[in-house]
Amino acid sequence: MNENSEKELEKLPEIETEIEEDLSQVEKDSEELEDTIDTYENIKEELEKESKEEFEGDTLSSETSEERLSERESEIIGIDGEEPQIPQEITKEDLKIQLKELRRNLIEGALYAAGRPLDVEELSTKLEIPKKEVEELVRVVAFDYLERSGALIVAQIGEKYQMQLRPELTETVSKFAKGGAIAERYLRTLTIVALKQPILKSTVIKLRGSGAYEHVKYLLENDLISAVKKGRSAELATTDKYADMFGLPKNKEELKRMMVSQLGLGENTN
């Protein structure tokens, strides 16, 4: 046996010891690995369990929601073809009241928009409302305006109705009408012409004094009255511009009746 072999034999116990230590470490590592695998499996099972519970909870919640929705649908659309059970919040009486209110507003709007007298026949035809109901509602509108303290009223002119200014406001508000402001002296002369038309210029002068010459000239220049030669004088009457300015009918007789009514005068104005 040579010297090298003897040295190797001497080292053999050391090598065996190292091998034993390595084997021991491997066993230890193996045990730790198994513990790690067990822990992983436990965690995995816990996660799967939680996931399953959440899924079952969602499913149950979904099923509950679907059941509630199904119950609500049954209430609305009925079961087995039955009539829907919709709460009757609006009654037929309510609908009648709403329809009547709408028609009343239409009549009021028509009187406002027309700017001229309207009779029951025209209101009924154009608004497609039965005449009997128009007769009732137009009186309701007129009464409502009479009860208010506003600037407008609904006046009855023969068989017709018209929305207009209250008489006591006409003179003051007329300055905002087409044609501009009209002085009180001109308005007084104009009122006499309107109430007594056709009227001779000479008669107006007698009633209003010599200053009426200038009044008549002003009214003619502003196209509020017209003059037709009659003997030595001229016959005066109001124009359509005057009627439009003061919201009066263009028909002279209707215009006079309305003014008599507005001003609270007697029927005989001649």
pLDDT tens-place values along the chain, 270 residues long: 545 555 555 555 665 666 566 656 656 655 665 666 566 566 667 666 666 665 555 554 555 555 654 565 555 445 555 555 545 567 888 888 899 999 999 999 999 888 778 899 999 999 999 999 999 999 999 999 988 888 888 888 778 888 887 877 766 776 666 555 567 788 889 999 999 999 999 999 999 888 899 999 989 988 889 999 988 889 999 998 888 777 788 888 888 888 887 776 655 555
Instruction: Give just the sign of the alpha carbon dihedral 100, 102, 107, 111.
Output: positive
Please give the distance of CA 207 from its chain centroid, rounded to a whole number.
53
Q: What is the pTM of this model?
A: 0.43
Strand segments (E) across the chain:
118-119, 152-157, 160-165, 199-200, 225-230, 233-238
Whole-number Å distance between alpha carbons of 242 and 249:
10
pLDDT at 120: 93
Torsion, CA 64, CA 70, CA 75, CA 78, rounded to 10: -160
**Can you tell me whether residue 154 is helix, strand or coil?**
strand
pLDDT at 270: 52
Edge-to-edge strand list for the sheet holding 160-165: 118-119, 160-165, 152-157
107 close to 134: Cβ distance less than 8 angstroms? yes
Number of helical H runs and strand E runs in the chain? 10, 6
CATH 1.10.10.10 holds for 167-263? yes
pLDDT at 227: 92
pLDDT at 21: 63
The closest alpha carbon to 215, from 206, 226, 204, belongs to: 204
For 155, phi and psi rounded to 5 degrees? Answer: -95, 145
**Strand partners for 119:** 160
The closest alpha carbon to 265, from 195, 205, 188, belongs to: 195
Whole-number Å distance between alpha carbons of 147 and 153:
9
DSSP 83: P
DSSP 175: G
pLDDT at 248: 81
pLDDT at 44: 60
**Can you tell me whether residue 199 is helix, strand or coil?**
strand
pLDDT at 73: 52
145 close to 107: Cβ distance less than 8 angstroms? no
pLDDT at 222: 84
164 close to 149: Cβ distance less than 8 angstroms? no
**Taking the domain 92-165, which CATH number applies?**
1.10.10.10
pLDDT at 142: 92
